[in-house]
Structure 1
Amino acid sequence: MQNDLGDFLRSRRSRIQPADAGLREYGRRRVAGLRREEVAQLAGVSVDYYIRLEQGRGKHVSDAVLDAVARALRLDEPERLHLYALARPGGTVDSHPTTASGVYRDTVAPGVRLVLDALAAPAFVLGRRMDVLAWNALGDLVSGFSRVPDSERNQARYLFLEPAAPVFYPDWERVAAETVAFLRRDAGLHPDDPRLTALVEELSERSPDFARLWAAHPIKEKTRGAKLIQHPEAGRLELGYETFALPGDPDQLLVVYTAEPGSPAAAALARLAERHPVTA
């Protein structure tokens, strides 16, 4: 992750063809997409300045320049925020401090645990690096968090290193892309987190799929969506999920799985809870 800014900018300019940007083709192209001088032209900055930015040597870059580069590369909002995070380590992006420290609170507040237990839906809390910090009983029945050692309780590690993961997630490729996108965002906000660096190195070495997806620099916020699970006991579960940032802990996310009332998934979750009643 030594020059993530440059890698990110190169990945984004490679996906835009000159004709799509209103530019005339000229000369032989050695790389896919836009040349650096074309991005500079579209952004209204000097070629030398853009090259220094892509090389990670652009200090004190202004909002106007970053926004101009974002427009030239047609970045969406999560990608634009990621650009800010990479260009300004040590600042604040979208309420998240882009700290160089790997230290943060990896335990949930007592009130959050009460909220988890009060929910009648599978729920859990994700921390940095996709570590699973807490869960409720139904969340455990669905995902089996308590059966995993503390040091291994990480969604990315499970997804890419556990042989059963593609069976549990039938749409594994989509879930994998979303997971890498989340980790990429985390890496932009916390570029010097040693535990995140170690996780990325481990997954890159042990999983060719992770290395492939990581090199593509996907960026996506984990907000809401659909999750398809092939549960060993409950069968096929077509669930939605909603994600909430916890006040006071911007690096912790409450994830709640949802099922449409009267749906097969709702009935399957109800049967699962009946078979495994929570005891005090």
Structure 2
Amino acid sequence: MRVSTSQTYQRSMALMSNLSTLADKQQGQIATGKKVVNASDAPGAYRQLATLKRADANDQAYAKNVATAQGILDQADDTLSDIETQIQRAQELFTKAGNGTLTESDRNSIGKELESIRDTLFALANARDSRGQPIFGGATGDLPFAKAADGTITYVSSGEPSGIPIGDQLTMQVGTTGDRAFAADSTTNIFGVISQFTAALSSGGDVKAAANTAASSMTDALANVTAAHASIGARGTRLQMVADQLDYAATARDDARSAVEDVDLAATISNFQQTLTILQATQASFTKLTALSLFDYLR
């Protein structure tokens, strides 16, 4: 059978080219630790990796939102704790005023402290979160409480603030509106209760009845604040669950990505050495082949 020299050359060249390409691929896998870098390496695996990458990006954004929401809820929790402390102190002052005969000095002292408590509560009611948004605001994002020229404090917001996205089609409300927390539209408006009792103190008459009324109203107000506080705590627990779920999903995707993308380094190094050995042998054979003359080859 006549053997074509050109065909022999072509086969050898093709084999060396394929081996060289394989060696380059294996060397790249060893250097990067990845077996899928380009779509041509494994189209199906490349599409799977792209899907995992998009899911990672989405969940990373959600995780940041969860962290932001947790921070805001922590601020709301601290603020409500401060509000509860102020209300409890006001209750103590109402009780003190209603249980004994008050001197002028007592009236002035209690009145001034209650005015200070009212001012502190007003500031807390208009506190802003880390985004600069009012913790107890409505949909407008404006400060929820306003003080009129006569000192009357009223809730001026409306609607519900926008939630923070923490998952696909899932949002979290991180605050509570001031009308709920402070019962701003009812007779238990904490600002009005304090102002009315302070006015009764200033009148100089018997304040026992007024003190009892104020204490009862403030107990109702405290119940509203405590309920808002409990709601904040429950949402904090829910957020922690979401954060844990995002962490678990990220770990699962990382495992899936590794199974698709990461190389078995020991096996790849071994295969690379084998490929180089075959390539070197093929090159040596080709060198000897090209050194033969046509006469020697046909002889």
TM-score by shorter chain over 0.5 = no
Greater relative contact order structure (CA < 8 Å, 6+ sep): 2
**Structure with greater Cα Rg:** 2
Higher helix proportion (structure 1 or 2): 2
Per the shorter chain, which TM-score range? under 0.3
* TM-score normalised by L of structure 2: 0.24
